[in-house]
Structure 1
Amino acid sequence: MKKLLFPVCFSLWFGLSANAQSEGLTGSPYSMYGLGTTNQLSLGKSNALGRSGIALPGNTEINNQNPASYASVFDKSFLFDVGFQSEYNHYSNKISDESKWSFNFSNLAFAFSLSKRSGIGLTLIPYTNVGYTLLGVSSNIEGSDEQFKSTITGVGGLNALRINYGYRLSDKIRLGVSASYLFGSIEENEFFSIGSSYFEMNEDTFYNGFRPGLGLQYDITKNFSAGATVQFPVSLQGNMDRTVTKTLDGASVIVEDQEGDDVPDFKLPTEAGIGIYFSPFKGFSVNADYRRNFWSATEQTDNIGKYKDQDIFGIGVEYLKDARGLEYTDRIRYRAGFTANNGYLSINNKKVGGYAITAGLGLPINPNTHSMLNISYSYGQKGQLSNILVKENYHFITLNVSLEDLWFIKRKYD
């Protein structure tokens, strides 16, 4: 299998990393603020576990929640994970309702053991998502009482390319370090007309920066573990290309064309988290996480709000009847979870929080390895029908192919 798996992994890797973020990755109206909505999805099974997993070991599947988990990758194992997502958004305010579907890739990752005590991996995952359309936005004509209406669209977002390394300090303690390269662009297009003239403005804003992180996992007992992570603050550097085109009587003229203009840095806060993992009896396990993002320390504001500290909670459970059962249904993993956060953007002194209920299945692919087809579903809600806020209901479906291959194992029979 490894003769086929290895080239497939890297051909997919280079193909997707060349265009990691594409249009239509989200339909959330809240993606117009800041760098877009922060991606809460991860790899493999954690999407069905309330997006928790700080203390979860990564011996059979990649766990991107904590770099320390890479130290638990089984010796001589190679793990690969590719994921896709589909999102349905329904949002409403006091005036109207709208809906939108979107579909895209959600992650690409691989990991392998370096020794019996250490492991390493690389992941590519969207970090923020932008996808919105505003119709009939009214603006005043400068020096006049007259108004014109615009159509404004925004697409894009940032990606996170992260390398994770984990080392087993002892039989109970695992340490991890990560380094993320955040990169991407946000494109905003505005189209409007004044009299017989048509104007179109395009702004492409590019951001990039490096972000380090640390992780710890500690096995208190055989069935109970604790974990902690921290992502350090970083200022993302940005620049913008801007073009304004005027069309009159079918002839287009470039009114403005600027490249590489500096824009203010966008500050990402310190993100800290703690979690526990325990298995009260064979075949049943529980994950519970708490994270805090210290947005207030960045002292940033948006056009209509301020950034405030954010609290995120997640809990998930998994049940497996018999990992070596003769019946296929005995080897299916059943998962469920819940996650909630109080938001990081405060509008009119009201934070835009939300919650999600998750469920999923882990379907074995190969009885001789830990390869798994992970399917998850999430129903969530954010915002509220008050003041200028929008209430958003969304449905997420994720599909992850999580493969395991064994290297340097001699066959007993040819």
Structure 2
Amino acid sequence: MQFMTKMMNRYVIMASILLIHMGARSQSEGLTSSPYSLYGLGTINQTSIGQSNGLGYSGIAHRMDTGINNLNPANYALVPQNSFFYDIGVVGEYNNYSNRGDDESKTTFNFSNIAFAFRIANRLGAGISLIPYSDVGYTLLGLVSNIEGSDETFESNVSGIGGLNDFGINLGYGITDQLRLGVRASVLFGNIEEKENFVISNSYFELNETTNYSALRLGMGMQYDITDKISVGGTVQLPVTLTGNLTRSVSKTLDGEEIIVEDEEEDDVSDFKLPMELGFGISAKILKSFTLNADYKKNFWDATDQSESIGTYADQDIYAIGLEYVNKSRGYKYWERIRYRAGFNYDNGYLAINNNKIDGYNITMGIGLPTGYTSNSLINLSYAYGSKGQINNILVKENYHSITLNLSLEDLWFAKRKID
């Protein structure tokens, strides 16, 4: 009975953490402040789980049995017997934006992920994760527009907040000791809230729009160990169409009296298409203490045939490389078990303006601090410096610093107690 009670307590704890995270996400002031989150679904999130954040967000082929590798569902087949992995992360970001005439800085802080993984049967593992898929958090002040039918102008302020969440269920199975296959089902859901207000003469107008999106997306993954030191991997995310629903309300204030022009009117909006995504990776152990990861991803945005008011969506290429060093993962001395990481990530962008794509890069560093000698639990701390865009015409140069803290913990289930 005590054993069953303990098991139920763990399930309750995990369910509570999920609910807390989802509530914090919906009430957040925004996970980003990037002006590029104005377009589409916002900025697509690259931040991953645990150690990958310090490795340039690489790890498709990384053979990992001491934690969660969420970049490839096939890796869940390696969850050890009796192990239950948790990963909870928070991220803080400092952004600086500049164009031809002005500079601005902002800081954001919020949850970055929650995930856990466990073994179901021999060679079969599973995991559940909740991470932001896209982030919206922009503010545009003093936009000048013409009053239709006249030469007069007015200024308006526009802001947006929200984004989509990715709730994923993963299964990984080992066909052989060398070959692992995985499947992933993702429920994408969330909303984008946009507000615009402006003053004409002595009248104040405010427009509020909330667009809700949802979809089910499927994916697959593979890992194959060429030798005991070299592994390759591949992933595919199938294309999907997000269904949208818009709720709009408009209010007007004249001489201090508020007039509701439209109240919570619902409309269907154009569906948003996500492309097919292919990923390939290789991982190699070098000189016993080093692990090198290299990934390439291709996202086929051209096939979605979508465009924005200022540009079009174009095929996207992402290159990532990461290197980890650990002296002895089971060393007697604490400093021997510390993991040091570095990485680089380049993204040539998926939005083209005047045939120029908005590209960006990240330089990452990280450290994994073990919390015990026999446990695989780590405190993963990662830093990233990134840059996106350029100072050209209407574009903005964005530079940012981010720090991610992940509690990557292991709990042992069903382990027999030793009696002295």
TM-score by length of 1: 0.98
Task: Provide the alpha-carbon RMSD of the alignment.
Answer: 1.3
Cα offset for 1:115? 1.4
Query: Deviation of residue 248 (structure 1)?
Result: 1.5
Q: Aligned residue for 2:418?
A: 412
Query: Paired residues, what number?
Result: 414
Say yes or no: does 1:36 pair with 2:71. Answer: no
Cα separation, 2, equivalents of 1:385 and 1:66: 36
- Name 1:279's counterpart in structure 2: 285
Aligned to 2:373: 367
Is 1:72 aligned to 2:78, yes or no?
Answer: yes
Counterpart-to-counterpart distance in 2, 1:182 and 1:248 = 41
Partners of 1:265 and 1:322 lie apart in 2 by 51
Give the equivalent residue in structure 1 for 2:171: 165
Partner residue of 2:386? 380
In structure 1, what is the Cα distance between the partners aligned to 2:55 and 2:177? Answer: 26
Matched residue type, 2:14: C
Superposed CA deviations along residues 10-42 of structure 1, whole A, max 9, x for unmatched, are 221122124434322101110001010000100
Give 1:349 deviation, angstroms. 1.2
- For 1:237 and 1:324, the matched residues in 2 are separated by 49
Equivalences for 1:5-404 in 2 at 5 Å? 6-21=11-26, 22-404=28-410
- Cα distance in 2 for partners of 1:20, 1:58 equals 29
SS at match of 1:303: coil
How far is the alpha carbon of 1:258 from its aligned partner?
4.0
Does 341-350 or 51-60 show the bigger shift?
A: 51-60
The residue identity in structure 1 corresponding to 2:242 is: L
Encode CA deviations 1:129-171: one digit per residue, 9 max, x unaligned.
0001001001111221101001111000000000000000001
In structure 2, how many angstroms separate the alpha carbons of the residues matched to 1:365 and 1:359?
Answer: 20
Identity score, percent: 59
Q: 5+ residue gaps in structure 1? A: none
CA offset digits 1:210-261 (Å, max 9, x no partner): 0000000000000000000000000000010111110122211111224331
Alignment-mate amino acid for residue 20 of structure 1: R
Offset from partner CA, 1:23-74 (integer Å, 9 cap, x none) = 2210111000101000010000001000001001231111110000100111
Q: CA deviation at 1:6?
A: 4.8
Cα shift readout 1:66-110 (whole Å, capped 9, x = no counterpart) = 000100111121001000000111011111111100000000101
Equivalent residues of 1:141, 1:148 under 8 A apart: yes
Contact 1:358-1:376 within 8 A present in 2 as well? yes
> Per-residue deviation at 1:330?
1.3
1:274-331 CA-to-partner distances (Å, cap 9, x unmatched) read 0001102212100000000000000000010000000000000000011222322111
Q: Is the 8 A contact 1:9 1:80 kept in 2?
A: no
Q: Which amino acid aligns with 1:71?
A: A
Question: How many Å separate the matches in 2 of 1:38 and 1:338?
Answer: 18
Q: In the alignment, residue 128 of structure 1 is paired with which amino acid?
A: S
Q: Secondary structure at the match of 1:30?
A: helix
1:353-387 CA-to-partner distances (Å, cap 9, x unmatched) read 00010000000112221001000000000001112
Distance 1:116 1:159 in 2: 31
